[in-house]
Structure 1
Amino acid sequence: MTELYPTTPTALSRRTTLRAAGGGTLLLGLGLAGCRSAVAEGESEQPGAKATAAPRRGGTLTVAVNSDFTPSLLFAQSGQSLQQRLVYNTLVRYDDRLKPQPELATSWEYAQDGRSLTLKLRTGVTYHDGRPFTADDVIFAVKNLQNPLRAAQLRATAAAITGFEKRGDHELVLKLAHPVNNLFDLFEFMIITDRHSVEDAVAGRKLNGTGPFELTKWSPGTGLSLTRNEKYWQPDRPYLDAVEFRVIAQADALLSSLRTGQTQLSYGVPGRNLAVLAAHPDLVISEYSTGGGAHYLGVNTTVAPLNDKTVRQALAWGIDRERILKQVLGGYGLASATPWPKSSPAFSEAARTHYTYDPGKARELLKSAGHTRLDLPLLHINLPGDTAVAEAVQYDLKQIGVHVTLEPTDPATAQKNLISQSMPALWTMSHGFAQVQPSTLAVSAYPFNEAKNTSRFRSAHYTKVVREAWTTLGAGARANALRQQITDTLLDEAFIIDLVIRGSVQVAAEKLHGVTLNKFSYLNLDNAYLAG
């Protein structure tokens, strides 16, 4: 059993800051094993940190985003998931060590055989419309994610829940078809929506949750307006009166909005522009070093000659990951041939460096497969940071005789193509899900899903290993061996070619405090405030 969720946060992990030094910019080396809260309330306890003012009530926080809210993707993790935790709560939230902490679930207990879990739910919680939160809402949330129309990445985990036993309004037993080791990944991912208005939610007409803010207006193409939930279940929270999401797709306009204070928070600044903002006295740049995202090159294995893994391996040897990290991403992240951050139990240095930049070897592999030149399309999201990654990949592949034509695509269409397996021969995007239980990546993430992935890669061996890893509880030798087999398959088959692991990079006004992200990049502003 667990302790109750505290009403005030504990000091989370350290803040990493970039500042101008002697007229130049100092880029600190960033590991991927620590930082969860970029700007924590406990920051005054950090060595060398400025003392902060006591939290104050009031003010409007304006958040700059580079793509609009897409209601149809409400239940899928994507680049527009920031607003999820503002409107909706989840059952739990992870700490830095993947230990679940209470949110709408206050405690839980597994059966000894791992085939059921008893949840005790928070009392006194209401939706924005005043309706009480009960066990029926959790049952609906699970069944909602089981619906393939919702395109939820953790659908397989939700589907493993095959029965429900209510013990009053605030206790619920979940019965499992088989043990799964990522049930709490589902609980942090699964937003608890209103079962009576879910169709209005996916149409963008009404978002009714239990979260700290209420949606007052969605202006398509412009952004979201949220106001304080005066009936929030955490006493005296949130501090902020309102939150505005403002869509600013162009890099120059985004930089200007942050410099001038028109916006106070963004996670969408292209890596190559971060050094410019580092010198600004009123801004703080921080990295969430959970490895919650990674840039990758996707390969459609049904398009010849990419159905030959020798060709795919050639592409993996032909990309200069370190150059992309330094020149395109501003030095934030970790060049890696695998999806795993250093905090993952699946991480190994040998696997991370399995593919290094070796254009000579790449050309030799292409030649052995009967090719000296290839001409292929490469889809990418038409935002500055994503375009820069695609251009870097285009340049590197040209050096080995692979000429790609860039296909810029808006974020919503790219995500829908990802889900529907409608990608061209090559694409570059970002993926998540390597930052939680390793089995979740291969069971749930669209690029890696063993049953139906975007690359259309099929392998009986891959499916067998993934399923065994997913249903093996504990952290013993068997679990380690299965994780290694998944990694070995990803490297050998190269249907997804990882490039750089990186967490979210936050640019915030110095007066903004108490901001956190969860493992799925849901923004948590329960304890956020604007000082001064």
Structure 2
Amino acid sequence: MLRAAGAGSLLLTLAACRSAAQHSEGASDSATPQRGGTLTIAHHVDFTPALLFTQSAMNLLQRLVFNTLTRYDDNLEPQPELAESWDVSEDGTRVTFRLRQGVSYHDGRAFTADDVVFAIENLTNPERSAQLRSTAEAITGIDKRGDHEVRLTLDHPVSNLFDLFEFMIIPDRNTIEQAVTGDRLNGTGPFRLDEWRPGSGLALSRNDAYWRPDRPYLDGVEIRVITQSDSLVSSLRTGQSQLAVGEAVAGRDAARLENDAQFRITTYDIGGGCSYVGANVAVEPTNDKRVRQAVAWALDRERVVEQAKGGYGLPSASPWPESSPAFSDTHRTHYTHDPDRARALLREAGHDSLSLPLGYTAVPATQTIAEMVQYDLQQVGIDVRLEPYDSAAAQQRLIAGEMPALWTMSHGFAQVTPSTLAVSAYPFNEAHNTSHFSSEEYTDLVQDAWRRTDPGDDTSLGLYRRISELLLDEAFIIDICVNANVQVASTRLHGASINKFSYLTLDDAYLA
């Protein structure tokens, strides 16, 4: 292991560079930043306070109100944030953080090592439903060395340790119960939450005591909840909103704007998660692998990307973006659109026809994919009943493992250390996943890939390949495409970015 930010050099093979797909930022971003103004963001779902510590559809607030210990650069090398520097032991079981001084919460209380201790313990609380809970639980000892140094001892090395620190926001330990009800968010971040209007939006104002000198440039941020796709695009076109990110602006909507000179469209090579069909293996007939594989062969992935995503995405039967060391084009194309093969598998399983429910999140982008899945399955003899859920209910069902025989949503966690997907994402978690799938082989492969110090060596790459092959064969998660992570911004807006977990960062953002 190496010291300080160099610890992330182990992750060099996980390169995940950001690139502009349209309207490259170029010379216009070299202008002198301007202070002032309020940025209005259009978003497709409301804030769900109970999901504050999870990866969900509303990841706008985390890095606006809070900070993390470290932040990855484009090569997945951790860089300082609330931690100024760190040492990692050679065996990967001890990490010593030296914390930034002069940082305060929005209420004026000083940030100390006690807040880091609490943040780690908070993610181990089952009530938080944090996807990286298993990694937090690997930390078995926390030794506070004064107010600004803390040593963490791990039960065993984990390959995704700095994924945890990129993911883990540092909340105020004194107001945590108010945070998870949405009554109060007290962080160290660049903006303060002034008001949450359920179903309508949120208002934030500049944190004048932010630890980064002269940041943020913006006076405030307004997040407008606009659930209808056409209305959201109209809000951007008319200048009522200046930014939309991620699933808020589906690829098809981005395609409608890409030739409009008033917008800059940016894509992130890490992808925007994957659209997928999940299968519940605890109920009939999806407890039969042949039925699940039939679904996988029935899906027309190319059509989904072209029509539902507007070309923004990569048809793929496996979860990995091209930037991941786990990516393989052979795995990506393992399942192609083959209705005849799907019908043959169904007959082999004893079914001439089936009737199955398909749950989905009732937002326009996901509904479009649900309808396309419904059509594809009907062509092979599976009659599909669509069951829409609102975003909060869908996430709660996912966490609780209460999905029907089939469902379609999107998942993340394939964009960072590959082992994180199988130990942290609800659909894939080897110990307890939404599909209720388990096998000794899957557990052994995942644990072997996770309990390593070097996630990029040949042994790790071999483990990722075997995990991918098992996922394709068992087909309890049937990936459709790697979504493009799209950011549509007014050309007036400069300096907005996201981290590897799609937390929006506006420290350096300004309106020209």
Could you tell me which of 18, 22, 25 is aligned with 1:17? 22
- TM-score, length basis structure 1: 0.92
Q: Look up the match of 1:395.
A: 375
For the residue of structure 2 that corresponds to 1:378, the secondary structure is strand
**Partner residue in 2 for 1:270:** 250
What is the Cα deviation at residue 464 of structure 1? 1.0
The range that moved more, 267-276 or 294-303, is 267-276
For residue 26 of structure 1, what is the aligned residue in structure 2?
none
Do residues 154 (structure 1) and 132 (structure 2) align? Answer: yes
Other structure's SS at 2:374 match: helix
Match of 1:482 among 459, 463, 472: 463
CA displacement at 1:272 relative to structure 2: 2.4
Shift of residue 3, structure 1, vs aligned partner: 6.2
For 1:481 and 1:277, how far apart are their aligned partners in 2? 41
Q: Percent identity?
A: 59
Q: Show the counterpart of 1:54.
A: 32
Q: Match of 1:316, SS?
A: helix
CA contact (8 A) 2:5 2:77 kept: no
Judged with a 3 Å threshold, the aligned counterparts in structure 2 of structure 1 residues 65 and 278 are, in CA distance, closer, same or farther, namely same
1:48-87 equivalences under 5 Å are 50=28, 52-87=30-65
RMSD over aligned Cα atoms: 1.3
Deviation by residue 1:109-154 (Cα, 9 ceiling, x = unmatched): 1112221111111111110011111111000000000000000000
Instruction: Find the counterpart in structure 2 of residue 315 from structure 1.
Output: 295
Match in the other structure for 2:492: 511
What is aligned with 1:291? 271
The alignment covers a number of residue pairs equal to: 497
Instruction: Indicate if the aligned counterparts of 1:515 and 1:523 stay in contact, CA closer than 8 A.
Output: yes
**Corresponding residue SS for 1:211:** coil
Residue deviations 1:388-436 (CA, integer Å, cap 9, x gap): 1111111111111111111111100000000000101111101000000
- 2:450 is paired with a residue whose SS is helix
Which residue pairs with 2:9 in the alignment? none
* Pairing of 1:110-129 with structure 2 (within 5 A): 110-129=88-107
Amino acid at match of 1:305: P
Superposition pairs of residues 73-472 of structure 1, within 5 angstroms: 73-267=51-245, 268-472=248-452
Deviation at 1:203, TM superposition (A): 0.7
Question: Following TM superposition, by how much is the alpha carbon of 1:484 offset from its aligned partner in structure 2, in angstroms?
Answer: 1.2
> What SS is found at the alignment partner of 1:158?
helix
Aligned to 1:79, what secondary structure does the other structure show?
A: coil
Aligned to 1:497: 478
**Could you say what secondary structure the match of 2:233 adopts?**
helix
- Pairwise CA distance, 1:288: 1.6
Q: CA deviation at 1:279?
A: 3.0
Q: Is the CA contact (8 Å cut-off) linking 2:18 and 2:270 kept in structure 1?
A: no
* Contact kept? 2:264, 2:488, Cα under 8 Å: yes
Distance in 2, matches of 1:258 and 1:488, equals 42
- Unpaired segments ≥5 residues, structure 2: 7-16
Greater Cα offset, 279-288 or 169-178: 279-288
Quote the Cα distance in structure 2 between the aligned partners of 1:210 and 1:270.
31
- CA distance 1:374–1:3, shift in 2 (3 Å): closer
Give, in whole Å, the separation in 1 of the partners of 2:286 and 2:230.
Answer: 37
Q: Secondary structure at the match of 2:294?
A: helix
Q: Any idea what SS the aligned residue of 2:409 has? A: strand
On the 8 A contact 2:4/2:85 being kept in 1, the answer is: yes
Using the TM superposition, give the Cα deviation of residue 477 of structure 1 relative to its aligned residue in structure 2, in angstroms. 2.4
Q: Distance in 2 between matches of 1:292 and 1:187?
A: 20
Partner of 1:47: none
CA contact (8 A) 1:3 1:106 kept: no
Q: Distance in 1 between matches of 2:362 and 2:44?
A: 10
Q: Using the alignment, how far apart are the partners of 1:143 and 1:240 within structure 2?
A: 33
CA deviation vs aligned residue, 1:445-492 (integer Å, no higher than 9, x gap):
000000000001011110111111100221322212211111111001
CA distance in 2 between counterparts of 1:120 and 1:333 reads 40
- Looking at structure 2, the residues matched to 331 and 14 of structure 1 have their Cα atoms a distance apart, in angstroms, of 16
- Amino acid of the residue matched to residue 253 of structure 2? N
- Residues of 2 paired with 1:352 and 1:181: CA distance? 24
Q: Secondary structure at the match of 1:284?
A: strand
* Contact persistence 2:18–2:268 (CA under 8 A): no
Q: Which residue type is aligned with residue 118 of structure 1?
A: T
Q: What letter corresponds to residue 60 of structure 1 in structure 2?
A: T
Per-residue deviation, 1:514 = 0.3
Which consecutive residues of structure 1, in runs of 5 or more, have no partner in the other structure? 5-11, 19-37, 45-49
